[in-house]
Amino acid sequence: MPKLSELGEKRLIQYLVEHLDWPRDGLLPPGDDAAAFWFTGQLVASVDTLVWETDVPPRMTFRQVGWKAVTAAVSDLAAKGARPKYILLSLALKPSTEFSEFLDLVNGAQEASKKYGAAIVGGDINESSSHSISVTALGSSEKLLSRVGASPGDMLATTGLFGKTFTGLHAAMNSRPCERELAEAVYSPVARVDEGVALATCGGVSACIDSSDGLAESLHQLSEANDVGFIVDSLPLDSSAQRYCVDNNLDPVEAVFYGGEEYELVFTVKPGWGDVVEKALARLGKEVVWIGSVNQGRGVYFQGKPVERRGWQHFSPVR
């Protein structure tokens, strides 16, 4: 396979024009200066960037990076109760990149887009001294969720259990064996789009955020946005993660609160609406994971102790 430096930008774009699965509702032809569509409903947009040096774990393939980049952008839409419709890619790649790696990256992004019911409609390709991929996701929502709206007395819940990314990444960084679902959490994460739409339309959810920055950081962000505090009284620890923690002498509390990139939704539920929310997710074959409650004041507490605010933050020495 040739390198990108042997092909040039125009040939790469032409290949994508000829081989991507373009949506049929476009008002302009593929390869034009911009994409255009008729759009109804509330437009919801998000953008996310993965940089190889800081965001890509060991042995992650180009295809997996493409998948993860789309998932990260779509997860923010899911937290707003939106379904993605269109995806834009901006690629910055080294000239020495193999054409096969370029194809894997784009194919991974396209596979993830299809998974979430969206289509790639355009983007940009640039030469760079390091690899990165930026994804813009555009979607629509019947009813929006916000991270603002939680009140004392609300219940605190998530769409799933935590610890898989923390333990899966530990296994990857230290070349240790782990159960398949832990590795999948790192290399093939899934955004909770259907769950987000169900939470938005059921009527009982007062605030919502995704957990891509880690459960602790997400709760602190909700606390700050709503001027409330959280009492976590049930640790949402995945069983596979728990076994890995036992086998590798890791703190399960650390695994739950500081894993990051779990892509679960963290949300608050109004008093008396618990059954409604449970039924909404049950229709998807999912369960609500109740983990605590909202109280007055600020901060996050577990077992009577404050949960330290730590999580991934670019340009910061504190992790």
Q: Are residues 161 and 299 in the same domain?
A: yes
Say if residue 55 carries a ligand binding annotation: yes
Residue 172: give the domain boundaries.
Answer: 155-306
**Residue-level pLDDT at 317:** 43
Length of the chain: 319
- The verdict on whether residue 48 carries a ligand-binding annotation is yes
DSSP letter (8 states) at residue 16: H
Domain membership of residue 149 (yes or no) is no
Please provide residue 5's backbone torsions phi and psi, each rounded to the nearest 5 degrees.
-65, -20
In three-state secondary structure terms, 62 is helix
Same domain, 220 and 97: no
Residue 187 near residue 64 (C-beta atoms within 8 A): yes
Please tell me the predicted confidence (pLDDT) of residue 149.
Answer: 98
Q: What is the largest CA-CA distance in the chain?
A: 63
The answer to whether the annotation marks 261 as part of a ligand binding site is yes
46 is an annotated ligand-binding site residue? yes
Q: Is 25 annotated as a binding residue?
A: no
**147 labeled part of a ligand binding site:** yes
Residue 314 inside a domain? The answer is no
User: Is residue 32 part of an annotated ligand binding site?
Assistant: no
131-184: pLDDT as tens digits: 999 999 999 999 999 999 999 999 999 999 999 999 999 999 999 999 999 999
Of the residues 110, 141, 172, which one is the last residue of a structural domain? 141
Q: For residues 165 and 114, state if they share a domain.
A: no
- Whether residue 31 is predicted with pLDDT greater than 80 in this model: the reply is yes
CA distance linking residue 113 with residue 191, whole number of Å: 11
How many domains does the structure of the chain reveal?
Answer: 2
Residue 214 has pLDDT above 60, yes or no: yes
What's this model's pTM, rounded to 2 decimal places?
0.95
Q: How far, in whole angstroms, is CA 177 from its chain's centroid?
A: 25
For residues 226, 152, 212, 274, the Cα torsion angle rounded to the nearest 10 degrees is -140
The predicted structure's pLDDT at residue 314: 53
Residue 52 annotated as part of some ligand binding site:
no
Position 311 in a domain: no
Cα 151 from chain centre:
25
Please tell me whether residues 105 and 30 are part of one structural domain.
yes
Say if strands 119-127 and 83-93 run parallel, antiparallel, or are unpaired. parallel
Where residue 292 falls among pLDDT bands split at 50, 70, 90?
very high
**Quick one: pLDDT band at residue 41, thresholds 50, 70, 90?**
confident
Contact indicator for 154, 268 with CB cutoff of 8 Å: yes
Q: Does 312 count as an annotated binding residue? A: yes
Q: Which of 141, 169, 190 corresponds to the end of one domain?
A: 141
227 marked as part of a ligand binding site: no
CA angle (97 as vertex; 165, 111 as ends), nearest 5: 50
Task: Tell whether 21 is in a known binding site.
Answer: no
Annotated binding residue at 309? no
Does the pLDDT at position 313 exceed 70? Answer: no
Indicate whether 9 belongs to any domain.
Answer: yes
Task: Kindly state the DSSP code that residue 141 receives in the 8-state scheme.
Answer: E
45: β partners: 138
Q: Is 210 annotated as a binding residue?
A: yes
